[in-house]
Amino acid sequence: MARVTVASQMCRPFMGTVTEVEIDASNVRALIRELDRRYPGLGNQVEESMAVAIDGVICQDTYLEPINPDSEVCLIPKIAGG
Amino acid sequence: MNYLGKDVELKVVGTRPIRPDGVEKVIGRAAFGADFRVAGMIHGKVLRSPHAHARIKSIDTSKAEALKGVRAVITANDLPNIPSEEAFVGEGPANFRDMSLNTIARDKVLYDGHAVAAVAATSPSIAEEALRLIDVEYEVLPNVIDVEEAMKPDAPILHDDLFTQGVDPKPTKASNIAKRMEFKLGDSASAFSKADVIVERKYKTAPVHQAYIEPHACVVSYGADGQAQIWCSSQGQFMVRAYCAKLLGMDIADIRVFPLEIGGGFGGKTLVYLEPLALALSRKSGKPVKMTMSREEVFRGSGPTSGGAINVKIGATKNGRIVAAECEVMLQAGAFPGSPIGPALMTPFAMYDLSDVTIWGYDVVSNRPKVAAYRAPGAPVSTFATESAVDELAKQLDMDPLELRLINAAKDGTKAVYGPTLKDIGFVETLEAAKSSSHWNSPLGDAAPGKRRGRGMASGFWFNIGGESSGATYVNEDGTITVVSGNPDIGGSRASMGMMAAEVLGMDVKDVRTVVGDTTSVGFSFLTGGSRVTFATGMAVTQSAEMVRDELCKRAALLWEIPAEAVEWKDGKAYPAGENAGKFDPLTIADIAGKSARTGGPITGKASINAQGAGPGYATHICDLEVDEETGHTTVLRYTAIQDVGKAIHPSYVEGQLQGGAVQGIGWALNEEYVYTKDGRLDNAGFLDYRIPVASDLPMIETILVEVPNPRHPFGVKGVGEPPIVPPMAAVANAMENATGVRMSSLPMSPPRVRAALDASEG
């Protein structure tokens, strides 16, 4: 199962003090769905305001990016730029 | 050389063809926003608040409306009163209500220069005269400009409905602190006990403007059928379309935006200011409306980047290993929430392999223009502080600052403080390049009497982004190629798009023309920003060119009456793939294009993608400077910018990005700041009093391109536009300390401040 970590406190309203979970998900959409099932409201938070770093690669606004069983997934704020 | 991860000989990518937009710009014929005109247009002007904070009690426009030549007068009541709605549609999280209120004030003005009304008239002078006839009654309120003052419990409150997010329990009292955010890795508080040396200091940076030379400008024509056309200079024609549709309550399909040449943006043109007002004026007057900001309006009415106050604490062992770090960042958002506090917290330690770090910060509103993006938004502010502290740490440890950074440098496999495990990064390579550079190994030279010389260095990080991009490649009837990009060309993307297409098609880049499409001639593309275009739009264009290449092979196969798999593409021509395919003379693109009608019609490739996997950028800069002891004036003697760029498609443009970012950062370090009067009015709204570096101020910025390829891009590209503005402030401050022995922790290090710091140090 993929190891999902949260470095910022953006997920605290949904996850409380939990900062790391293991999730069986084959892509970002499945990840969001499972996060929302476990922590209601978190799916929307991730979808609207956060990016997902999969094995060090930052992915934004995508359902389709694949996640492997041994992937490291990190929930981070969305990134913009200048 | 690399294409799709394979070693191949690249013939176009990596070369330096003449820039395609150069001639028109050099001879002054390129059409920028302010140059554009349409038949029958009238002229719009904006009435701006003279107060930093005031309630609007009434606006009487009757006298202005009665003035001969005036065709329309608008206030906020001519635009929809938009409810609060969060969206991530442009260069960061936005609230459409705030965006609307920033475009034109409704009940309160929140900064000097805030728009309160607009007029369209048959001439600019009549429009200006009409502005003077608008009677606005204000109830002036106390203002707050400084970020730390704005955070105090007794500060004037800008928004009665703003409650700090990210704190527990949820506050019940309104505050200027919009948000608190924190990142934590390990246990910094305990880890400081392992440190032999601890540096702790407070820093401050001034908000600075992006200082693009071209002011905001647009022409808008609202038709009788309810459809509008907008010609403007921006960082994204689709961004302008989306924002205007939202702020005017229009359908996106009813707005067509034509991108004009852009005279600099750097993040400052990722928002709309004039376009919604011009739309409302055009709708009301039935005429096309042209609006152009004056330089003063650009400073007073458009968004600078954030300034901030930063507290840093870093501890290291005697052998130079950093064992603990903490940082607190207070970042100005301007009049509405939305400073780049997230990146400001995620970036300043991303150069290092640290296990115990806590970094937290605040998004703070005050009576200044709402901030806009500026190259690597947030990162330069916090990195100025942390990279100054790292330099101070090196001094206390009696270590070479470059060696200290090498000891602690992030590598593939390092877990960043913001979460992910880093991969395919080139930070160590930039340090090694700095270490072996001519600059680092050259003597500093002796200062003249009355002057002091010093050398400093600093590093920086920026994520880079991908996102939605579209590109199309068209084969013209004569075999030339037209590439259409959905992104305004700010940093040379017409050249890089054309070069990537030419490389894929095996042709000379002089036979490829790249144009920036309007919102109806190319698929949606997220704006030009985040150092994303050569990466993301480059991927789309590359894919579209690959489609064309594959189709050309199919057409050749049809002409030769052999299977498509039996055709190979090489050096811009179709060849039979081996002897079994048959013997045919190779076909050029022109040969195939000339027969395209007979083989199935026009040959076109189009790709629309959501690019992921932009590789992070790391930069290391070296600065030599000389300080005049009598005047405090600083002269930069030599400056080198080193950066991991993945793969430079057109190295001259990439070097230009590094040079431009470095120069802007030097200006931020030495001179630039907004000066406010006590009543909150901006006192230096022009380039005479807001001093940016010009060519004669600086030496040629030397560059070293490090190329650690990004495996997610067909040619290995990483974004390059933002990392170069991250290190300069600390590099200059560290050189200043090396020259004078004085640690300057507040920007800008302008001559009066340097002189005062020298006085203080000399007792």
For residue B510, give its domain range. Answer: 2-29+465-611
Q: Please indicate, yes or no, if residue A42 is contained in any of the structural domains.
A: yes
- Do B563 and B644 have their domain in common? no
Interface check for A72 against chain B (CB to CB < 8 A): the answer is yes
**Chain B: closest CA distance from residue A20 (Å):** 11
**Chain B: closest CA distance from residue A36 (Å):** 20
Q: Please indicate, yes or no, if residue A13 is contained in any of the structural domains.
A: yes
Q: Please indicate, yes or no, if residue A34 is contained in any of the structural domains.
A: yes
- Per residue in B292-301, pLDDT (tens digit) is 999 999 999 9
ipTM of the complex: 0.94
Residues B141-180 as b or e (16 or more Cβ within 10 Å = b): bebbbbbbebbeeebbbbbeebebbbeeeeeeeebbbbbb
For residue A40, give its domain range. Answer: 2-77
pLDDT confidence of residue B90: 52
Q: What mean pLDDT, rounded, does chain B reach?
A: 96
Q: Please indicate, yes or no, if residue A26 is contained in any of the structural domains.
A: yes
Would you call B376 and A77 a contact, using CB atoms and an 8 Å cutoff?
no
- Identify which of A49, A53, A60 has the shortest CB distance to residue B467: A60
Closest Cα to residue B351, out of B449, B264, B429? B429
- Per residue in B43-62, pLDDT (tens digit) is 999 999 999 999 999 999 99
Q: Is the predicted pLDDT of residue B561 greater than 80, yes or no?
A: yes
- Per residue in B318-365, pLDDT (tens digit) is 999 999 999 999 999 999 999 999 999 999 999 999 999 999 999 999
Instruction: Quote the number of domains for chain B.
Output: 2
Across the A/B interface, how many CB contacts are shorter than 8 Å?
A: 121
pLDDT confidence of residue B756: 96
Q: Please indicate, yes or no, if residue B673 is contained in any of the structural domains.
A: yes
Q: Please indicate, yes or no, if residue B441 is contained in any of the structural domains.
A: yes
Higher pLDDT, B534 or B1: B534
pLDDT-based confidence at residue B522 (cuts at 50, 70, 90): very high
- Do B448 and B485 have their domain in common? no
Restricting to B residues 100-129, those with a Cβ less than 8 Å away from any Cβ of A are: none
Q: Please indicate, yes or no, if residue A37 is contained in any of the structural domains.
A: yes
Average pLDDT, integer, range B8-14: 94
- Do B669 and B723 have their domain in common? yes
- Per residue in B614-657, pLDDT (tens digit) is 999 999 999 999 999 999 999 999 999 999 999 999 999 999 99
- Per residue in B188-211, pLDDT (tens digit) is 999 999 999 999 999 999 999 999
Q: Please indicate, yes or no, if residue B619 is contained in any of the structural domains.
A: yes
Q: Give the CATH number for residue B539.
A: 3.30.365.10
- Per residue in B16-25, pLDDT (tens digit) is 999 999 999 9
Domain end call among B566, B590, B611: B611
- Do B549 and B589 have their domain in common? yes
Residues B728-741 as b or e (16 or more Cβ within 10 Å = b): bbbbbbbbbbbbbe
Average pLDDT, integer, range B570-586: 94
> Percentage of chain B with pLDDT > 90?
96
- Do B564 and B584 have their domain in common? yes
Average pLDDT, integer, range B19-36: 94
Domain end call among B557, B581, B611: B611
Q: Please indicate, yes or no, if residue A6 is contained in any of the structural domains.
A: yes
Q: Please indicate, yes or no, if residue A82 is contained in any of the structural domains.
A: no
Q: Please indicate, yes or no, if residue B568 is contained in any of the structural domains.
A: yes
Q: Is the predicted pLDDT of residue B86 greater than 80, yes or no?
A: no
Residues of B assigned a catalytic role = 722
Domain end call among B563, B586, B611: B611
Q: Is the predicted pLDDT of residue A41 greater than 90, yes or no?
A: yes
Q: Please indicate, yes or no, if residue B18 is contained in any of the structural domains.
A: yes
pLDDT confidence of residue A10: 87
Residue indicated by tokens 């680092």: B440
Instruction: Quote the number of domains for chain A.
Output: 1
Q: Give the CATH number for residue A17.
A: 3.10.20.30
pLDDT confidence of residue B704: 98
- Do B576 and B697 have their domain in common? no
- Do B584 and B644 have their domain in common? no
Would you call B529 and A80 a contact, using CB atoms and an 8 Å cutoff?
yes
Q: In what order do the strands lie in the sheet with B217-222?
A: B70-74, B115-121, B42-48, B289-292, B217-222, B228-232, B255-259
Q: Is the predicted pLDDT of residue B89 greater than 60, yes or no?
A: no
Q: Is the four-CA dihedral A36, A42, A47, A50 of positive or negative sign?
A: negative
Asked if B430 contacts B620 with a C-beta cutoff of 8 angstroms, the reply is: yes
pLDDT confidence of residue B564: 94
- Per residue in B266-282, pLDDT (tens digit) is 999 999 999 999 999 99
- Do B599 and B659 have their domain in common? no
**Chain B: closest CA distance from residue A68 (Å):** 15
